[in-house]
Structure 1
Amino acid sequence: MIGAVLGTALGLLAVTSCQDITDLQPADAFSETTAFSTPQRVELSVIGMYNAAQSGTYAGNVVRGYPFGAANVQQSEMRGEDMLNQALFYAITNESTYTPFSANNVWMWNTLFTLVNQCNVTIEGVQKAATDGIITQDVALGYEGEARFLRALAYHELLTHFARPYSDNNGANPGMPIRDFAVVSPATVDKAIATGRSTVAENYAFILADLDFAETNLPATRTGNLRVFRSVKGAAIALKTRVKLHKQDWAGVITEGNKIVSASAPFTSPISGFALLPTAAGPFQNQASAEAVFSIENNEQDNPGVNGALASMMGNLALGGRGLIRVSPISYNLKEWPADDARRALLVKDARSYYTAKFFDYTNRSDNNPIIRYAEVILNLSEAEARASAAPVSPRALALLNAIRGRGLASAVFAAGDFATKVDFVKAILVERRIELLAEGRRWADIHRLAPEAAYGTGGIPAKMAYGNATFATYNFVTPPTLTKTIAAIPYSDHRFLWPFPADEVSRNPTLATQQNPGY
């Protein structure tokens, strides 16, 4: 974290952006003393946060979509079992052989904390700009809401990789160091170094306070595609349903979810205008649709490149992708996934295996990264309703589940009588998440939060198939074969369930050097 921000915090504050999320022209970098000196520069500084979220660097100078341009999806899928690795590039993540020196986890840490610091710089900058009369207080609060939304998103991503889940020890385990100030000087570097790890519970309280602030101060909507690419009130609420689901605060998920999910189908949001599209392919064919709650924009001029873009890394070789991440037979053969489910049309095959077709701009690599879709919000609320209900099957949870499942295949919707117990019902919701959110980077997050639960979790990192074992014959959902999983499971108690802090971080930060995750 100190290593991640020292290079950019001292000296010039980068506020440039090539993204087409506003009509403003890209500007040169400004020092932190001038970046907030005019309303136009304040706006550019805010846009710079989104650029930091989309295109942090990998290995120091190569843009590969860290943390949220694409890398969060690819790294999270490779930590799970539902996608198949075909590249040395992802083998360390996929096979859990990471170290404090391995690039993928090191740069996820570095770019996430760089984003946190840029958010903090922006918060302090817009507050001062309001005090100095450069912008109004209302405008400053809106900008601060955007910064806090992104800071919350970054911290939650850090927790899912570098800390134990909230359900383990009720959040009392070590979490992340909380940074609520900008590291821009030797004095603030010293302050940062002196701050050790907070607890997971303290981190969640910090994240939720940020999102409460964002909900209060963000606009309900924005013009055009900016509703998708810059945070709005409904997106802050949606992210709270995810965070509270990880906290196992079922009542909290229901409270937040009910703000943006109507009482009955067709489910829509009275805030920010979210809605499910009628087809499973719709959210990917129109990436700025009502189903897109918040996405990171990629476009022809500004994207993670051939070595990082979603279509490139996860796309069919025959169509112009690199084919490095494929769909595993483990997910393809799920018995709960009907053969004629429309979501199977979001897969494309070659002579060997299947790829996702959710991302398909192989030429310009402009597929947006869908950070939160309304479909996830519906499933978050469904699970919380099911868990909180005293009945084996909550009618509202069932209706929400069927809204997602029925879109893929109307005849496959569930009836309450299909489930003998509440556990069976919750398991059906969890499997539906695997089907609906396949290749969107949510699998590891679910493995992480559920791991300590005997009824629902995998008990750790699940066993996986290696590419060499996944011949075309292994893809068979009609008569599923016994799959060979040569990448062994890792129990939850193993230190490899967590990523290590980077070596450069602990070498620069004596406080964190004594608080490294055990086993590293």
Structure 2
Amino acid sequence: MKNISSKIYYIIVGGLLVSCNDFLDLSPVTEISSANYWQTQEDAEAGIIGCYDALQPDSYFGFDLYTYGEVRSDNCFAGGDNPNNFAIDNFTENPTNANITRSWRQLYFAIGRTNTVLNRVNGMEDDLFEEAKKEQIMGEAYFLRAFHYFNLVRLWGNVPLVLTETTSLDPDNIKVSKADAAEVYTQIINDFELARELLPTQAPAGGRLSKGAAEAFLAKVALTQSNYTDVITWTEAVMGRGYELLTTYDHLFDQEHKNNAEVILSVQYIGAAEGNPFPELVLPTPEASFEFIKFHTPTPNSLAQFEAGDVRASTAFVERSGTPYLFKWRNGDAFASADHNIIMRYADVLLMRAEALNQEDRTTEAIILLDQIRHRAGLTPYTGDQSKEAVDTAILQERRVELMYEGHRWFDLKRKGFQFTRDAILAAKGITITENQMEFSIPQEEIDRNSNLDN
């Protein structure tokens, strides 16, 4: 199946968008774009590919989201030589942190692209499209907007909620106040549900979205909100979509089995100018092209989580000269890797379902799913305490080792509450955090530009 390439978007659209160095980076469309673009199905297709492209930079899944998901947690130290990453690792970041600022801007830039697609494609005549193509593109845009806001609200809490295309730099349009997190979550769920209605059952190409992806993220949102009934509903839907666990765990990451039956969503890269920078930053040589102090180094605490005989250990990390490195990517290629970044896979869905079933007093069913994951890892079935509390601990532990270094750990800690998170960070890093460090501050440059924002 072909990979997504953003080159089409830059060729067709790149000269038509005016980049705005103002609040939220919501780029307005010029008169040229309004008059001459969004006229054909090909225009709409190029526009939605541009929305996928927004996932790729180092300010998003090319680096920063892994920093927040793993370095902020008990799994990784910052490594490298960037003081902004050290601050995130040590919980000493402030509103001027350059990495957090660029992530905020990238997320709203990505939202701006989805809002433009939703507005423009919705206004195009249906007879311009092949059957169901317009619905697919609209569904993809709704999904991606929900996904961006899901990342924003989990990292910052209350954030501005922008749902319309920005076509003017009028202060009334761009100086947006924060919305309550509950309102943001309502919109996220609404967008994912719309995406589920509109997306195709089968993704048309590798990296493109389908109904199963929307259902998986509806489950993830429900789990974040401790809505276990909905987790059970949505994971059951995903289980009927034909996904399956790969027999060999390492095949998920060896880059020889991309877009396989377990992967529900991944950020796609094709290498060269469309390459993934992350593998070069974390891999040792010879998998990486250059030797330097690598980023995202595993904590001893994370390495100690793997049981004897767990085949996932040799996939998750590798030791060279006594130093551990992340190993779920295999080709650095001088910052231009074609390795994909997996965002959601079927094992995550099964573990979400197990957690929800256990919370709903269906512990026997939960353990069956837990054992499916353990069996693939070469481990014996769970034989520990059958109480709800003990099984919940076992499932969270299984999530940690199954999804190790894939960007999930901080968010799993957060949804378990401040005390749980504080204890985990203290045990792994010797750092005592405070409750207000569970969320990032809004970047200072955004506050300086927008009098409606504060921390």
- TM-score, structure 1 as length reference: 0.77
- How big is each residue's C-alpha offset from its partner over 1:10-38, in whole Å with a ceiling of 9 and x where there is no partner? xxxxxxxxx74489686242353133122
What's the % identity of the aligned pairs?
A: 25
- Of 211, 219, 230 in structure 2, the residue corresponding to residue 252 of structure 1 is 230
**What secondary structure does 1:463 align onto?**
helix
Are the counterparts in 1 of residues 196 and 214 from structure 2 also a CA contact under 8 Å?
yes
- The aligned counterpart of 2:108 is 113
- The aligned counterpart of 1:367 is 339
Please state how far the C-alpha of 1:439 moved relative to its aligned partner: 0.9
Give the helix-richer structure, 1 or 2: 2
Give the residue type in structure 1 aligned to 2:74: E
- How big is each residue's C-alpha offset from its partner over 1:382-401, in whole Å with a ceiling of 9 and x where there is no partner? 11111111x6xx12111111
**1:353 pairs with 2:335:** no
- The aligned counterpart of 2:198 is 217
Please state how far the C-alpha of 1:509 moved relative to its aligned partner: 1.1
Distance change (3 Å), C-alpha of 1:460 and 1:155 = farther
- How big is each residue's C-alpha offset from its partner over 1:446-494, in whole Å with a ceiling of 9 and x where there is no partner? 1121124x5xx223771376xxxxxxxxxxxxxxxxxxx45x1203x2x
The separation in 2 between residues aligned to 1:507 and 1:22, in whole angstroms, is 33
**1:130 pairs with 2:125:** yes
Please state how far the C-alpha of 1:420 moved relative to its aligned partner: 4.6
The separation in 2 between residues aligned to 1:74 and 1:368, in whole angstroms, is 17
Are the counterparts in 2 of residues 447 and 460 from structure 1 also a CA contact under 8 Å?
no
**1:77 pairs with 2:70:** yes
Give the residue type in structure 2 aligned to 1:331: S
- Of 181, 186, 190 in structure 1, the residue corresponding to residue 172 of structure 2 is 190
- The aligned counterpart of 1:458 is 421
Name whichever of 94-103 and 242-251 sits farther off: 94-103
- The aligned counterpart of 2:11 is 27
- TM-score, structure 2 as length reference: 0.88
Are the counterparts in 2 of residues 451 and 460 from structure 1 also a CA contact under 8 Å?
no
Please state how far the C-alpha of 1:124 moved relative to its aligned partner: 0.2
Are the counterparts in 2 of residues 145 and 215 from structure 1 also a CA contact under 8 Å?
yes
Distance change (3 Å), C-alpha of 1:35 and 1:68 = farther
Are the counterparts in 2 of residues 341 and 409 from structure 1 also a CA contact under 8 Å?
yes
- How big is each residue's C-alpha offset from its partner over 1:202-228, in whole Å with a ceiling of 9 and x where there is no partner? 1111101101001110011134xx2x4
Are the counterparts in 2 of residues 70 and 369 from structure 1 also a CA contact under 8 Å?
no
Give the residue type in structure 1 aligned to 2:296: I
Name whichever of 497-506 and 288-297 sits farther off: 497-506
The separation in 1 between residues aligned to 2:100 and 2:365, in whole angstroms, is 39
Give the residue type in structure 2 aligned to 1:463: L
Give the residue type in structure 1 aligned to 2:165: A
The separation in 2 between residues aligned to 1:464 and 1:105, in whole angstroms, is 25
**What secondary structure does 1:98 align onto?**
coil
The separation in 2 between residues aligned to 1:99 and 1:23, in whole angstroms, is 36
- Of 46, 53, 56 in structure 2, the residue corresponding to residue 54 of structure 1 is 56
- Of 501, 506, 519 in structure 1, the residue corresponding to residue 442 of structure 2 is 501
Please state how far the C-alpha of 1:302 moved relative to its aligned partner: 4.0
Are the counterparts in 1 of residues 354 and 366 from structure 2 also a CA contact under 8 Å?
yes
- The aligned counterpart of 2:243 is 274
The separation in 2 between residues aligned to 1:333 and 1:48, in whole angstroms, is 41
**What secondary structure does 1:395 align onto?**
helix
Please state how far the C-alpha of 1:427 moved relative to its aligned partner: 0.3
Are the counterparts in 1 of residues 5 and 274 from structure 2 also a CA contact under 8 Å?
no
The separation in 1 between residues aligned to 2:60 and 2:243, in whole angstroms, is 25
**1:437 pairs with 2:403:** yes
- The aligned counterpart of 2:393 is 427
- The aligned counterpart of 2:298 is 327
Are the counterparts in 2 of residues 121 and 182 from structure 1 also a CA contact under 8 Å?
yes
Are the counterparts in 2 of residues 66 and 107 from structure 1 also a CA contact under 8 Å?
yes
Distance change (3 Å), C-alpha of 1:25 and 1:32 = closer
- The aligned counterpart of 2:161 is 178
Q: How does 1:376-455 map to 2 (within 5 A)?
A: 376-389=348-361, 394-410=363-379, 412-415=380-383, 418-452=384-418
Give the residue type in structure 1 aligned to 2:310: D
Q: Which runs of 5 or more residues in structure 2 are unaligned?
A: 17-31
Please state how far the C-alpha of 1:356 moved relative to its aligned partner: 2.2
- How big is each residue's C-alpha offset from its partner over 1:379-421, in whole Å with a ceiling of 9 and x where there is no partner? 11111111111x6xx12111111111110114x2213xx2152
- The aligned counterpart of 1:312 is 280
**What secondary structure does 1:293 align onto?**
strand
Q: What is the Cα-based RMSD across aligned positions, in Å?
A: 2.3
**What secondary structure does 2:128 align onto?**
coil
- Of 218, 233, 236 in structure 2, the residue corresponding to residue 240 of structure 1 is 218
Give the residue type in structure 2 aligned to 1:253: V
- The aligned counterpart of 2:154 is 160
- The aligned counterpart of 1:171 is none
Please state how far the C-alpha of 1:232 moved relative to its aligned partner: 0.8
**1:96 pairs with 2:80:** no
- The aligned counterpart of 2:20 is none
